[in-house]
Amino acid sequence: MTNPSLLILPGDGIGPEVMAEVRKIIDWFGAKRGIVFDVSEDLVGGAAYDLHGTPLHDDTMAKAQAADAVLLGAVGGPKYDVLDFSVKPERGLLRLRKEMDLFSNLRPAQCFDALADFSSLKKDVVAGLDIMIVRELTSGVYFGEPRGIFKEGNERVGINTQRYTESEIARVARSAFELAMRRDKKLCSMEKANVMESGILWREVVTEVGKDYPEVELSHMYADAGAMQLTRWPKQFDVIVTDNLFGDLLSDLAAMLTGSLGMLPSASLGAPMANGRPKALYEPVHGSAPDIAGQGKANPIACILSFAMALRYSFDQGEEAARLEAAIEKVLADGARTADLMGPDGGTPVSTSGMGDAILAALDASI
């Protein structure tokens, strides 16, 4: 049997630094748990532009399409700000998402107990929080036509169109129900069915798809009420599914309940491939952080947690993903802190590689 393949795209800025720590973790799983990947590495973003004059070479795109999963660091940086829009580093990432047709964006909001003080909310509201927002990523108001700025009489009018087909709603709903089945079997769908026809259709289609998942407790909430409930008592939720625009806002809101940008992973999933695995891109939520790049200050945990998501959602290694998450929890509880996590409780300052090494030691202790 061949090993599953993993394409690694470190990218720019702190991308290569945090990815170096993920490589150590991947090697650990190979050596100590017999979970071996065929790992290949390539360029994306500014790094690809520097070599090829494009932020994503066609060969790299083809490798991404063929890989069982893609793990990306971050792209962008001030050096590339002057480039034409068509070759900006972010275009490489957008091309990956678009051509792989990654319609389901998973953004967990998980609060590690040791970091509960970092939240802007009271500790008891966020401690132990573990929810997942599923955002539709490839349709809705960011893509709908007509769009543009037009002249109407003697003033301009800006137009964007919220548009969803039944099949677009059904496929992201299905992915959210599947996720709910692996978790607490509780799904809340959020839209604005009170004022938007696309919201009415969203609610109808999600309800229809739900008939295939009788074990999942489905509820519906208007997205504005959802935002209030997320800040009031977020632990009432397990999985939330919502459209592109509301998901953009709600996932940022939920993520920030838990503290630092350096802690937030994400997954973007598409349709199943011939081997049954979904097309998948895993990446931290943060960018290339040029202000701290090259200084050993970056927190690698968001990228390492993205690999944990890959273990769980692409490679059916949920127990090993939990092992990795528990190792991170332990390291944080023991007080290891990269610069972004240094708070009022003090803690032991560690570098990017120091954090990676501490997680490896905790993994060693777990077996």
Options 16, 77, 108, 270; binder of ligand NAD; rule CB under 6 A: 77
Q: List, in sequence order, the alpha helices (H) in 9-55.
A: 15-33, 46-52
Strands (E) located in 94-194: 104-110, 130-136, 144-152, 155-161, 186-191
**252 interacts with ligand NAD by CB under 6 A:** no
Find the binder of ligand NAD among 262, 265, 278, 356 (CB under 6 A). 262
Binder among 105, 189, 251, 299 for ligand NAD (CB under 6 A): 299
Please, what is the minimum distance in Å from the beta carbon of residue 337 to ligand NAD?
A: 11
Residue of 142, 184, 235, 357 marked active site: 142
Minimum CB separation of residue 350 from ligand NAD in Å reads 12
- Asked if 258 is part of the footprint of ligand NAD (rule: CB under 6 A), the reply reads no
CA gap 300, 230 in Å, rounded: 27
- Is 97 marked as binding a ligand? yes
Catalytic choice (12, 68, 248, 340): 248
Report the 10 Å Cβ neighbour count for 1: 3
Instruction: Indicate which single residue of 340, 356, 359, 362 sits in contact with ligand NAD (rule: CB under 6 A).
Output: 340
Residues 6+ away with beta carbon under 8 Å from 191: 198, 199, 202, 203, 220, 222, 223, 242, 243, 246
d(C-alpha 100, C-alpha 113), whole Å: 36
Tokens of 167: 């099949």
Q: Examine the residue annotation and report whether 340 is marked as an active-site residue of this protein.
A: no
Q: Does 10 bind ligand NAD (CB under 6 A)?
A: no
Please tell me whether residue 286 binds ligand NAD under the rule CB under 6 A.
yes
Query: Judged by CB, which is closer to ligand NAD: 210, or 262?
Result: 262
Q: What is the DSSP letter of 273?
A: -
Catalytic residue among 49, 192, 313, 330: 192
Using CB atoms within 10 Å of the CB of residue 284, give its burial: 0 to 12 exposed, 13 to 18 middle, 19+ buried: buried
Give least dist CB 355 to ligand NAD, A: 10
Q: What is the DSSP letter of 238?
A: S
Measured torsion, CA atoms of residues 294, 295, 297, 300, in degrees rounded to the nearest 10? 30
Smallest gap from Cβ 255 to ligand NAD, in A, equals 12
Binding-site positions read 77-90, 97, 107, 135, 224, 248, 252, 287-299
Catalytic annotation, residues: 142, 192, 224, 248, 252
Per CB under 6 A, residues contacting ligand NAD are 14, 18, 74-77, 90, 93, 261-262, 283, 286-292, 298-299, 302, 340
